[in-house]
Structure 1
Amino acid sequence: MNYLQWILKGIAMGAADVVPGVSGGTLAFILGIYERLLNAISAINVQAVKLLWQGRFNAFWQHIDGTFLLCLVSGILGSIFSLASIITWLLEHRAVPVWAFFNGLILTALPVLLMAVKWSLWRGVLFLIGALFALEVSMLTAVELQPASWMFFAAGAIAICAMILPGISGSFILLLLGMYSPVLLAVRELQFSVLFLFATGCIIGLLSFTHFLKWLLQRCHDATLALLTGVVVGALYRLWPWQAGSEMLSPAKYAEKFGQHDMLLAVGSFIAAVIVMLLLLNLERLLGKLPAKTQEH
């Protein structure tokens, strides 16, 4: 049951990473696997290489929490490769229900995030700083370009930092850099040389950034959680369903511009998202698992 739970959470993270404005890190944060994910990734270090070099494969696998990572990454990759085309089509032709769905996911989990922090005045200030930072990033304007090969490596290194950071979307960062469409095209057409460059950048960026986040959580846990929760809240701006480019519209203005506001689809998607998030938040109980603290120890 552990394996199924991790795969399902990976699928949720992968689906989020495909959508510009939503972060897989947000889903990991909400679903209670964020710190474990950071610990597992940051364990891929010199000691791990030594264990692998010495042929101590079982010790290496346990050191990096390999089964957890394998299940999670399998879910993420499976979700990205299977949903990329569908989500791209929806964003082009029926964007409103997509944004409404992810809006529902985040808003449903928001009370859980807020209750996880032991609040103080300083942590409240950090929360506001995180929210303002995410809001500023969300309001940036995307660029368009014809990328050189090295740019896929650089884009991977930058975007993966956003993907692992709750609230900041790696896909949105790719959009801002003008790399979203080229990377998605490479995924759809299986351009392996391009994907290799992008994946290499992702690996280097991920290993570097997770050590920094782990260091923050070890030294100022609740303050970091308050900051990250603020980032999640600030990023909600980008999830407003009725948007055109960087402009946020009312449903009526959206209908004037595009001929329909898809209100019923938006409401239905929002309700579906609430149900999905409640199921995800209660996976442990639904799958008959032991309490999470017991599993971690």
Structure 2
Amino acid sequence: MKRNLKSYITISLKGLAMGAADVVPGVSGGTIAFITGIYEELVTTIANVDISLFKTWRQNGFAAMWAHLNGGFIIALLTGIFISIFTVMQLTNYLLDTYPIVVWSFFFGLVGASVWYVGKQIEKWNPKLIGVTILGFIVAFGITKLTPAQGIDHPLYFLMCGAIAVCAMILPGISGAFILVLLGGYKSISAAVSEFNIQVIGLVSLGAVIGLLSFSRILKWLFTNFKSLTLSVLTGFIAGSLNKIWPWKEVINSEIIKGKVVILKEVSILPTQFDGDPKLVYACIAAILGFLLILLLEKIAKKQPLSNAEHKDI
């Protein structure tokens, strides 16, 4: 089954949403990929990038290599992500700065609904899967409570930051931006991008490529051999990450990086404990809208069933 222009535009729109999500420290682009129905294809496509592509190109031509790469999907998705970086991302940052409680509530509803969505992909629950889900929850919740480390000015450190952060980006639950904050690399990497430090950018990018290609293969293997178990872990992982995007927070420690306040340590509190207007009504409405958006995306995804085996370019 071939994709048409409408399908590629839809994929680009999903990339747009992924890019906007990844800028939020706590919302993962991987979560968006999952709830929009492209997660497994994304993981499989990345995992298929290897040296055999060049062999296919030499033996069967560029068209065969492009089909094996699932190139149309990659281009459409990256187009959406890059457009998001220069447009939607700016809007997301503005809304987070101006209406933080309402926006976080929207994301809370969205991610909360994705817990339900991922969980329902498991056909038959059993005690083992429930236990693994709880374990995933504990791990993710624990990560959101970690205190950020101090950064290290060393090439291997920047490689590690790139590798770990990009894994978080494709793993539903925790965002790459949040992982960089935890690793203590957010400040130095942000400065490197701002100053166009080729060495640091190159090291982080190399680490990201290594991490992405390696981790995607692990995920592909897990989905192929232990799909229900993997889904249960992801369900718990996403549920545990909800602590990070709880709308009402008390900031314990923060730092100004490039003129922007970056939260280093915060704790979740009840709306009644919030110092200021908790905007409870607006928060509830936003959370409901986020939840309903997932239902809408699920409905749209059902209308476009495409198995990985059917993904071919025009």
Q: Please tell me the TM-score bracket, short chain as reference.
A: 0.7 to 0.9
Equivalent residue runs for 1:45-60 within 5 Å: 45-53=50-58, 56-60=61-65
For the 8 Å contact 2:36–2:301, the answer to whether it is kept is: no
Aligned-pair CA distance for 1:171 = 1.4
Aligned-pair CA distance for 1:146 = 7.3
Cα-to-partner distance string for 1:40-79 (whole Å, 9 max, x where unaligned): 0011012113224557211111111111111112212221
CA distance in 2, matches of 1:111, 1:87: 25
For the 8 Å contact 2:22–2:28, the answer to whether it is kept is: yes
Aligned-pair CA distance for 1:125 = 1.1
Equivalent residue runs for 1:102-181 within 5 Å: 102-117=107-122, 118-143=124-149, 145=151, 147=153, 151-181=157-187
CA distance in 1, matches of 2:192, 2:299: 36
Aligned to 1:292: 306
Aligned to 2:44: 39
Aligned-pair CA distance for 1:111 = 2.6
Aligned to 2:259: none
Aligned to 2:256: none
CA distance in 1, matches of 2:156, 2:83: 26
Counterpart amino acid of residue 204 in structure 1: I
Closer, same or farther: CA 291–23 of 1 in aligned 2, 3 Å: same
Aligned-pair CA distance for 1:92 = 4.5
Give the TM-score normalised by the residue count of structure 1: 0.86
2:266 pairs, out of 241, 246, 253, with 246
CA distance in 2, matches of 1:290, 1:154: 38
- Name the structure with the higher helix share: 1
For the 8 Å contact 1:147–1:179, the answer to whether it is kept is: no
SS in 2 for 1:246: strand
CA distance in 2, matches of 1:14, 1:87: 10
CA distance in 2, matches of 1:270, 1:295: 36
For the 8 Å contact 1:28–1:34, the answer to whether it is kept is: yes
Aligned to 1:204: 210
SS in 2 for 1:247: strand
State the Cα RMSD in Å.
Answer: 2.6
Aligned-pair CA distance for 1:97 = 2.2
For the 8 Å contact 2:162–2:206, the answer to whether it is kept is: yes
Aligned-pair CA distance for 1:29 = 1.8
Aligned to 1:237: 243
Query: When the two structures are aligned, how many residues end up with a matched partner?
Result: 290
Closer, same or farther: CA 195–273 of 1 in aligned 2, 3 Å: farther
Aligned to 1:263: 280
For the 8 Å contact 1:103–1:240, the answer to whether it is kept is: yes
CA distance in 2, matches of 1:290, 1:266: 32
**1:61 maps onto 2:75 in alignment:** no
- Name the structure with the higher strand share: 2
Aligned-pair CA distance for 1:231 = 0.8
Aligned to 1:73: 78
Give the TM-score normalised by the residue count of structure 2: 0.82
**Bigger mean CA deviation after superposition, 165-174 or 136-145:** 136-145
Counterpart amino acid of residue 113 in structure 2: T
CA distance in 1, matches of 2:166, 2:40: 16
Aligned-pair CA distance for 1:147 = 4.8
SS in 2 for 1:141: coil
Counterpart amino acid of residue 254 in structure 1: F
Aligned-pair CA distance for 1:126 = 1.0
**1:12 maps onto 2:17 in alignment:** yes
CA distance in 2, matches of 1:190, 1:269: 37
Return 5+ residue gaps in structure 1 as ranges: none
Return 5+ residue gaps in structure 2 as ranges: 1-5, 252-264
SS in 2 for 1:292: coil
Aligned to 1:218: 224
CA distance in 1, matches of 2:101, 2:84: 21
Closer, same or farther: CA 145–85 of 1 in aligned 2, 3 Å: farther
Aligned to 2:294: 277
CA distance in 1, matches of 2:97, 2:308: 44
